[in-house]
Chain A
Amino acid sequence: MVIPDFVLNAPLAMQVTPADWPGGYWWHWLFFTIIIIAFVLIMVMGVIYIERRGMGRMQSRLGPNRTGPFGLLQPVADAIKVLLKENIVPATADKVVHWLAPIIAFSPVLMIFAVIPFQNGALLADLNIGILYIIAVSSVATVGVFMAGWGSSNKYSLLGAMRNVAAIVSYEIPLALTIVGVIIFSGSLSMNQIVVAQDIPYILVQPLGFLLFFIAASAEINRSPFDLMEADSELTAGFHTEYSGMKFAMFYLVEYAEAIAMSAIITTLFLSGWRGPFLPPWLWFLIKTLVVFFVMVWTRTTLPRVRIDQLMALAWKFLFPLALVNLFITAIEVIFWPDISQWIFVGVNIVIAALLVILWSKLFKIGWGRLEV
């Protein structure tokens, strides 16, 4: 087997231990695996608390405030409750698929964090195809969701899972296209290199790309207003209707871990990741991730759920063409003016983004305006 050059010459990520230690890369692997698992589990508890309190306050409520100081122990109490609950498998369910689904849905989310830099070079594996790896791995979670829907042998589960697959297949395309815009500017697929290349946060250089990516990411991880695959008012709970106990906890974990993963990806791609003045880099990364997550909570409280046809229309009539146009403009800018300051592109691209969104608002109507909405 011939090992390609780019694998051999790939810059090895920051080693936790000196290279001459016994075990070599495995120490690095062990250290970051533990960090990632701890990070995901603790952050999930944290963001559940932030979401419930934030949503409560936005709806003129208080949110959980009984368990522990300020209700901080509420996620812990919920976790213990859900772990102690009985695990029920429907009699007609496909048992193996039903069992495997939560695991298959959960593992890709953890795998995403392998390439997310917590600070310069502090990541499990500095893949030179990092962002491509993320697109590939994050799609696998859909298989788990569909297995859950199919294995439960429940009409609501299956409907929810079908909607999920349809949505993710549609939203992967604008997601990938907007990422290409970022890659063209940074000149690298490695997540760490993308952050290093961001002297100006790409949210300014790629405002339209950020908007499209944020919408597509929200749809990809089933967050409101695109949560119609688990719409509780129509499908009871969507694909995890028939799940209880530990397996339900896994799906709950996946939902929030995916939200954190998407926040971390948005932070890395558009908000210059761990870079920032004064504070240590990992803290900057954490703060930015939480801010992005807070915006997701904010949109969730504000916007009503869309219908499945509106979801598809948004993906194919709004996000997809605009992502193509964005990619085209980005490519032209990089090819024709590679050397001028990126600050010029900031102004130009913000104007272009505003113009395109306003223009598309005329076109983006159901039946091109012939139908009453």
Chain B
Amino acid sequence: MKFENYGIGIIKGMAVTISHLFRHPTVSQFPEQRLNISRRSRGNELVWSREKCTGCATCAKACPQGAIEIVTSTNLKENKYEVEKYKVDTGYCIQCGLCVEACPYDALFMGYSYERAKYRRNDLIQADDELLESPERPVSGYFHPEIAEKLPKQTLLVEKVTEKRKQE
């Protein structure tokens, strides 16, 4: 005769829940406390470099959504393309990163920023200088390990909590 259904499982379960009550909760309060996101995160906006871009439009061909529009003209004096318009409709962008991988001159990067919601749909269309890198629009390490090395390491919630529990 084995006795195992007399409620021991319930008691064990209740011991687990009550121990959680006295433990530090595994959460962070978002707007005040921010964790470092993944260094290779594919953020909400593309970052474009006017200097490196040759206007070859490989990115526009690679885009499965057709979100990138590029207009070039020929500069006969210096024998190269001149980019007249580089326009990305981020509303169509699916953050697949194919354009970044396709770019042969490392002129296009995924953005590292998040919280990039807009109030108007037209604000989602970004062109030319709006796409350049700036302190507000940092570059993600996606497809670029040399950039990823310089970014802060991602904080894992687990590590944060175990650290806190060690201090207690």
Contact = CB atoms under 8 A, between A and B. Distances in A.
Bind each other? yes
Interface in A220-251: none
Nearest to A301: B17
Interface stretch (B1-9, B47-55, B67-75): B1-9
Contacts of B7: 357, 361
B28 to A, nearest CB: 10
Contact of A61 (B6, B14, B17, B25): B25
Looking at chain A's contact residues, the main secondary structure is helix
Contacts, number: 48
A133 interface: no
A57 B21 contact: yes
B1 A58 contact: no
A301 B15 CA distance: 11
A365 to B, nearest CB: 7
A299 B14 contact: yes
Contacts of B4: 361
B21 A58 contact: yes
A362 B1 contact: yes
23 contacts: A57-B20, A57-B21, A58-B17, A58-B21, A59-B20, A60-B23, A60-B26, A61-B25, A61-B27, A62-B27, A62-B29, A301-B17, A302-B14, A302-B17, A357-B6, A357-B7, A358-B3, A358-B6, A360-B6, A361-B6, A362-B1, A362-B3, A365-B5
Nearest to B15: A302
A358 B4 CA distance: 9
B17 A56 contact: no
B10 interface: yes
Interface string A337-373: 0000000000000000000011011101100000000
Contacts of B23: 60
Contact of A364 (B1, B5, B13, B21): B5
B117 interface: no
Nearest to B8: A361
Contacts of B14: 298-299, 302
A130 to B, nearest CB: 31
A159 B36 CA distance: 48
Nearest to B7: A357
Contacts of A88: none
B18 A361 contact: no
Interface of A: 54, 56-62, 65, 298-299, 301-303, 357-358, 360-362, 364-365
B16 interface: yes
B10 A303 contact: yes
Given A357-B6, A362-B1, A60 B20 contact: yes
Contacts of B10: 302-303
A56 B18 contact: no
Given A358-B3, A361-B7, A362-B3, A298 B27 contact: no
A361 B3 contact: yes
A104 to B, nearest CB: 35
Nearest to A365: B5
Given A60-B25, A62-B27, A360-B6, 17 more contacts: A57-B21, A57-B25, A59-B20, A60-B23, A60-B27, A61-B25, A61-B27, A62-B25, A62-B29, A298-B14, A299-B14, A301-B17, A302-B16, A303-B13, A357-B6, A361-B3, A362-B5
A353 to B, nearest CB: 11
B27 A54 contact: no
Tell me which of A56, A57, A298, A303 has the highest count of chain B C-beta atoms within 10 A of its own C-beta.
Answer: A57
Contact of B13 (A60, A62, A302): A302
A299 B11 CA distance: 10
B164 to A, nearest CB: 13
B140 to A, nearest CB: 30
B90 to A, nearest CB: 30
Interface string B25-42: 111010000000000000
Nearest to B19: A58
Contacts of A360: 6
A302 B25 CA distance: 17
Contacts of A364: 5
